[in-house]
Chains A and B, each alone.
Chain A
């Protein structure tokens, strides 16, 4: 699985789950928290989805050590876990 596929999957999932539609600010590089697409409740849903979808565990150390504010950053963490 390459990073582009993961980014696409996450983009589609978050767009659908959080009712983002065709908002022009939304893309894989935007800070999801800063721009108000996600809050901490939303972040929990996204983490739960990732852990289920990719059968990986995101630990508290991952969250602290790696930036996970954009879809691209989250995808990077997933790719490293899958390797």
Chain B
């Protein structure tokens, strides 16, 4: 298989009449999804710019999903962006990416008038769909793809304020879909309820894990995610068998009490990743739904969503830490000490990852790519790249990996990866702010922002300003305005001092 979109061709050939995806507006069968996507692919190919990335600027929907597939049929990598993305951030992405096309809809398109699109063509989704599919054109486009070509670029937070475009090859997704299907024994009866936004790579578990087994993918409406106590009812009504949610959502559902007395006889697989899952809330799930398989997954965007996993196989006390387990098939994890030795059992080190899911690098950014995608220091025989994750971990007596935290200024809030430097850069763009320092309060799991400004802001008002530069998930949970931030003798912000104020 050279392109992940072959999974759609296979599903449409075998189970064409089956419901492939349902969102809050419509549902499509595998044949329909393939036909729509081939129309889009044809329209993209006819308007030129082969192999150039296609930004999909649409809400989480069948429209967005079929645009991804359409881009793949055209041999182009797709780039999902949030429908609520601040335009200044989209501008940075476009500057880095130089996309050939931007697929959008009439209600979102006017936002694009405010920024410089370079030579990208703006295409309306409905118009792309109305093109007549040219199968011969698509086949010749697909024949030119190989599995080391990029399938998508996903932008993650960058410490200088410029997002980094993680570029993943088809092979990463093809292998990952295979792993998801075999590990969780997915089949045609699989009904997956997708929580993750498409611009977050957890969505690849939902999309390709379902496509591979020819199951049905249900896109949970965004509004419903604002009301987590209503999610179990949604799972029951849709006869969902599998979920892969970020722990924040699982925690909110558990805390809402909505799992008490709930009946979910179809639910079989409950997987989670993106941040630490506390056993306190996991135990609420386990008591309510004792027959489900629970799996703790781990992986940075740079290795195609997930590289190691732990299927929970014993009771855990509320205060215990869940391991992140062992490497997935075709992936290898090394824990390297500061002097590049392999850490002994119990010894802390940096988690380094290699395998088929390894990213090609950061789009159009060779310098930052070279810093973290490096030669495996344990391999002196031949060239072998690995990814230095910046995550600290150790292996316990049972051979299971335990995640500890970060080496640097990166944090996770509600499963979203955030560089504190990007929050600081945005804060300095707010009029009246002289300087800013963002710190993470790990107990409350939120960002605390200290600003130097004459004027004092309320958190809510300040966040309205910040939203012009960064996505909502990066907003601080607490704001402290100071006339002057504390500085060290050499003029740097005294972070230790500020940390004491949290």
Contact = CB atoms under 8 A, between A and B. Distances in A.
A79 interface: no
B165 interface: no
B252 A44 contact: yes
B229 A36 contact: no
Interface residues of B, number: 24
Contact of A36 (B24, B223, B233, B463): B463
B221 interface: yes
Interface in B390-413: none
B47 interface: no
Interface in A34-63: 35-37, 40-41, 43-44, 47-48, 58-61, 63
B98 to A, nearest CB: 32
Nearest to B235: A60
A60 B252 contact: no
Contact of B460 (A35, A41, A64, A67): A35
A38 to B, nearest CB: 8
Contacts of B227: 40, 43-44, 47, 58, 60, 63, 68
Nearest to A62: B230
A15 B22 CA distance: 38
Contacts of A41: 252
B223 A63 contact: yes
A18 to B, nearest CB: 10
B460 A37 contact: yes
Interface string B224-242: 1111111101100100000
Interface residues of A, number: 20
A36 B461 CA distance: 9
A44 B458 contact: no
B221 A64 contact: yes
Contacts of A67: 223
A44 B257 CA distance: 10
A60 B256 CA distance: 14
Nearest to A40: B226
B124 interface: no
Given A44-B256, A47-B229, A60 B460 contact: no
Given A40-B252, A44-B252, A58 B460 contact: no
Contact of A64 (B224, B255, B463): B224
Nearest to B462: A36
A4 to B, nearest CB: 25
A23 B460 CA distance: 10
B229 A48 contact: yes
A13 interface: no
A29 B320 CA distance: 45
Nearest to B477: A39
B374 interface: no
Between A35, A48, A63, the greatest number of chain B beta carbons within 10 A of the residue's beta carbon is seen for A63
A25 to B, nearest CB: 8
Contacts of B231: 60
A60 B237 contact: yes
Contacts of B378: none
26 contacts: A25-B460, A25-B461, A33-B226, A35-B460, A35-B464, A36-B463, A36-B475, A40-B225, A40-B226, A40-B227, A43-B226, A44-B255, A47-B227, A47-B229, A58-B230, A60-B224, A60-B227, A60-B231, A60-B234, A60-B237, A61-B237, A63-B223, A63-B224, A63-B227, A63-B230, A64-B224
Interface of A: 23, 25, 33, 35-37, 40-41, 43-44, 47-48, 58-61, 63-64, 67-68
Nearest first, the 10 closest Cβ-Cβ pairs linking A and B are A60-B230, A36-B460, A60-B233, A60-B234, A64-B221, A63-B227, A40-B226, A44-B229, A43-B226, A44-B256
